[in-house]
Amino acid sequence: MTPDWMALIGCSSRRELVEGTVAGICAAIAVGTMEWCSVAAGYPLAVIPFATSIVLVMGSPEAAPAQPRALIGGHLVSALAGFAVLRLTGPHAWAAAAAVGVAILAMVLTDTFHPPAGISPLLIVSGNLPWSFLLAPVLAGVLLLAAFAYGWHRWVSRRPWPRPTL
């Protein structure tokens, strides 16, 4: 039997409450690490595209866009689309919008659809970011996020991640 206050906040068990609390704390640590990395790399935090990815991977780990292929591939494909559009057009507002569209198409075609990755081409084109952005923060960040998610889901929440294939 769950206490009334737990039912009010939508928790069905103490385990769910503890798990959610620990997930929130770990996500906050991950975002704090992103902040530290943004300072170290010289990029403002606003151009580090992982906060929504953390929420998706932690909160809906069974969803297709939260799987490693989509998480890693989506960020890389989207960033590459952004760089391709930037190279072809330059840093124009209309080009940033077009780059998001190209990134969506590229993610669908490569089966790496990860909605949070759609911010990368917008940031790349509108900020006229250098190719080094692909390595850090995109590649390094997404690999660290995948490792964090793997460890969290295997050793803390005790759920399989990535989800088993059928």
Flag whether pLDDT at 9 surpasses 70. Answer: no
pTM: 0.85
**% of the chain surpassing 70 pLDDT:** 92
**What's the pLDDT at 3?**
62
**pLDDT of 109-132, one tens digit each?**
999 999 999 999 999 999 999 999
Helices 140-151, 68-89: inter-axial angle, 10-degree rounding? 170
| Measured CA distances, 19 to 33, 58, 90 (Å) | 21, 11, 46
